[in-house]
Structure 1
Amino acid sequence: MQAPTAFEERLQEAHAREDLTTCLALLRYADFACPVTDAAARGDEPVAWATFPGADRVWVAVYTSAEAMREATGDAVRHFRILSLVELAAGWPDPRWGLAVNAGLEPSFLLEPGTVARLAVPTLEQDLAAEPDSGLPIVQKVLEVAQIQELLGGGPPRVSGYCHHALDVAHIATPSVLADALLQEDALTSEGAVNLLRWPAIGPQLYRTPYGGVDEAGRTAVAGWVIEEPPFAGMGLVPNAVETIREYKIDGIGLPHGAEIVELAADGEERVQARYDADHGRWLMVEQS
């Protein structure tokens, strides 16, 4: 590779000493130049993934810099978009496809889809191990009115299904935008609000990252464990190419003390409706001023 960047020099050094762990760690936080055709750059056609066929799968081609891309393509490709690994995973086109980093250059890397998913979206346990002082993560789940009534109806509250990392949507203050980002437009109330169940994720091993696919082939391709109907992405993220929102699959999780039912109102204000008191096994309604 000619005139490598500082990042590429570190990647070359790690590769030269056969330090695959460091190579993968560097790639996890890298930004990639993703080729764009001249026609797409002009707006004459949609932006598509640059791919090439391999012996056992299709590979998505990306590069660690614009210079690397131009060198590898003989300067035939001039346009590109910059995406991080998690952004690539959010819009991943097919769970059977792999990621080719710097194909045609030295060093280059071929990452199978399961590796892409796990590098881009580690499990909640891995996130906490990497940042042990970050505190308990907060997760949340969109609630329909009937689900609120069920939670408040008595008995120890338990939840199943999918929840998402609250930090990943903290920047969204509009109910309709949040519902759209989570592909849950039906959750909007007649007043244009969204109701959320929010709680600290105690016991991170109970919050499993849903690697998988929409069929057996997709699940096997990412070495996953979940099969869901489309638009399930299987990369550990809500299937939304614009927002990167980590999601988790849970099964009968008991809610901890301090769990809250929150209304995100149409005016963008959050109002806590109820708070769970685990000491007394009941929900305490919060008076609104």
Structure 2
Amino acid sequence: MVVVVQEWRPESPFEKRLQAAFAAEDLPVCLGLLRQAEIGLPVTPAAAEGREPTAWPTFTGGGRTWMAAYTSIDAMRAVLGDTAEHVRVVTFAELAAGWPDPRWGLAVNPGLTTSFFLEAGTVARLAVPSLVQERLAEPGSGPPIMQKLLRPADLYAHLAEGESRVSGYCHRARDVAHIATPAVLADALGRAHEEGVVTDEGSVNILRWRAVGLDLYRTPYGGVDEASRTAVAGWVIEEPPFVGMGLVPNADQVIREYKVDGVGLPHGTEIWELTVDGVEYRRAVYDGDLGRWFLVDAVPVGGPGGAA
């Protein structure tokens, strides 16, 4: 059981704002502050020195497991004492990417008067807000650029059969702008095992478009069975390695994913090839007025994210 430390007073401006919102019982403001924050996970001295694996800092309460996190080292030491010397700092997105068990909850500042006990589903929604929520937060940002890796059958459907819709999982182009090679990109998205995603030449083909109708791009909260789906208040059940926290199944990457079902592609949608040399070539453009794909002369663009 966690003992509440009554005498601790925050010093940082962030923690003072969080405490004021907590005292006013303004939960939306509290969650909004936490969404933008970095939190600290206690690490044992042995793990910090590499003498043992880093473990999730957990405790039990109310018949369940909670992961302990703190908004500052001072907050952590107020509860754990001077023995708390090491901390792993993460964002909510980084935490969600490696979330170990959907049945666990997150305890932020357990032991302090300003504390929060969050369900895994709340952690997921703080880490990965919907595209609609992001647009409201950044009203001048313009339509997000989405992309999806294409298998040979997908490429044939678009270019040979004129397919103008997209289904399945996609992601934001800016989330993978730092990845410059096809094999690394496929692995980061959890698709390296799919036949044909990486071609015999070592390239990947990418469908890229500007999203309209943002409510059609649903964040796939869920799990691998009904119990894990219910634990995050989700709507999707998929086979492993699906994580259900709104992120690709790769704990080393923070890449948001979205699920669509037969969404129409807008005029100007493009197909790009990212080669093994890290160079992108635009291969085709969709003309929404004519309802046709047109092949284009390949003009190389260095690095991924060639479409602005």
TM-score (norm 1): 0.97
Partner of 2:182: 175
1:83 and 2:86 equivalent?
A: no
Q: 1:156·1:254 contact (CA, 8 Å) conserved in 2?
A: no
SS of the counterpart of 2:32? helix
In the TM superposition, residue 13 of structure 1 has moved relative to its aligned partner by 1.2
In the TM superposition, residue 156 of structure 1 has moved relative to its aligned partner by 4.4
Q: 1:11·1:23 contact (CA, 8 Å) conserved in 2?
A: yes
Q: Which moved more, 1:52-61 or 1:101-110?
A: 52-61
Q: Which moved more, 1:257-266 or 1:16-25?
A: 16-25
Distance 2:58 2:204 in 1: 40
Give the AA of the match of 1:20. Answer: L
Distance 1:121 1:165 in 2: 12
Partner of 2:305: none
Kindly provide the CA deviation profile for residues 216-261 of structure 1, in whole angstroms up to 9, marking residues without a partner as x: 1111011110011111111111122221111001111111111111
Distance 1:263 1:155 in 2: 18
- What does residue range 267-278 of structure 1 map to in structure 2 within 5 Å? 267-278=277-288
1:28 and 2:66 equivalent?
A: no
Kindly provide the CA deviation profile for residues 45-65 of structure 1, in whole angstroms up to 9, marking residues without a partner as x: 221210111214311100001
Partner of 2:215: 205
Give the AA of the match of 1:287. Answer: D
Q: Which moved more, 1:16-25 or 1:217-226?
A: 16-25
SS of the counterpart of 1:139? strand
- What does residue range 174-253 of structure 1 map to in structure 2 within 5 Å? 174-185=181-192, 186=194, 187-253=197-263
Structure 1: which 4+ aligned runs deviate by more than 6 Å?
none
Q: 2:268·2:285 contact (CA, 8 Å) conserved in 1?
A: yes
Aligned mate of 1:264, from 266, 269, 274: 274
Q: 1:59·1:99 contact (CA, 8 Å) conserved in 2?
A: yes
Give the AA of the match of 1:219. Answer: R
SS of the counterpart of 1:229? coil
Query: Could you list the runs of 5+ residues in structure 1 that have no partner in the other structure?
Result: none
Distance 2:64 2:294 in 1: 54
Partner of 1:60: 67
Distance 1:231 1:55 in 2: 29
Distance 2:11 2:112 in 1: 11
Structure 2 vs 1, CA of residues 143 and 288 (structure 1 numbering), >3 Å: closer, same or farther? same
Aligned mate of 2:130, from 104, 119, 123: 123
Query: Could you list the runs of 5+ residues in structure 2 that have no partner in the other structure?
Result: 1-7, 300-308
SS of the counterpart of 1:47? coil
Q: 1:35·1:62 contact (CA, 8 Å) conserved in 2?
A: yes
Distance 2:61 2:159 in 1: 54
Aligned mate of 1:140, from 144, 147, 169: 147
Q: 2:206·2:271 contact (CA, 8 Å) conserved in 1?
A: yes
Give the AA of the match of 1:129. Answer: L
Give the AA of the match of 1:223. Answer: A
SS of the counterpart of 1:23? helix
Distance 1:56 1:134 in 2: 44
Distance 1:275 1:56 in 2: 56
Partner of 2:80: 73
Distance 2:131 2:258 in 1: 8
Between the aligned residues of both structures, percent identity stands at: 63
Distance 2:125 2:15 in 1: 22
Q: How many equivalent pairs are there?
A: 289
Q: 1:154·1:282 contact (CA, 8 Å) conserved in 2?
A: no
SS of the counterpart of 1:129? helix
Aligned mate of 2:54, from 40, 47, 54: 47
Partner of 1:38: 45
In the TM superposition, residue 119 of structure 1 has moved relative to its aligned partner by 1.3
Kindly provide the CA deviation profile for residues 156-215 of structure 1, in whole angstroms up to 9, marking residues without a partner as x: 422211011111001111112111111111421111111111111111011000000111
